[in-house]
Amino acid sequence: MPGSDELVALYDQAGSVVGTTTRARVREDALWHAAGVVLVRSGDGSAVYVHLRTAVKDVFPSTWDCWAGGVVAAGETPAECARRELAEELGVHGVDPVPLFTKVYDDGRNRCHNFAFEVRWDGPIHHQAEEIVEGRWLPLEELRAWVEDPAPELPFIPDGREGVQEWFRRYG
């Protein structure tokens, strides 16, 4: 698995950093960790950028997502992670992600504190080929219908679904 020896921040169930470990160990032992995730909205706020994850992702491959993000590295804050992932995955630079909330996701195999952020962006999007197959802007109403559908035609990432449902409860 690419990046399996990468050092990441190890969290406890309460959401505090308790050490570091490898990304592989987090996956193998279902350890608590954190991610910085960013909802990219159009400048007028009416649409969200959604993208299809590659088939080689280590969790939830070949699923659609509306959050650019990734695992918090050792020594990194969730905000730093969010900025880094936004630049790496979508090529978005020069914006400061606004903190929204933390959404805990635990399906027994993946235990993560998703630190959610938001940006407004009308500039170009440049996909990181190793992580993203394709993407597009989607009106908020269509995104809401997609994530509320119990059996959508296109697979949506489970933790991202829960995160955007929380976003809609709070802001939409």
pLDDT at 1: 45
Annotated ligand binding at 76? The verdict is: no
pTM of the model: 0.95
**Over residues 135-153, mean pLDDT:** 97
User: How far does Cα 60 stand from its chain's mean position?
Assistant: 11
Annotated ligand binding at 134? The verdict is: no
Q: Would you say residue 153 has pLDDT above 80?
A: yes
pLDDT-based confidence at 3, cuts 50/70/90?
low
* 3-7, 13-17, 63-67, 74-78, range with the lowest pLDDT: 3-7
Residue-averaged pLDDT of the chain: 96
Q: Would you say residue 163 has pLDDT above 90?
A: yes
Burial 64-91 (b: 16+ CB within 10 A, else e): bbbbbbbbbbeebebbebbbbbbbbbbe
pLDDT at 97: 97
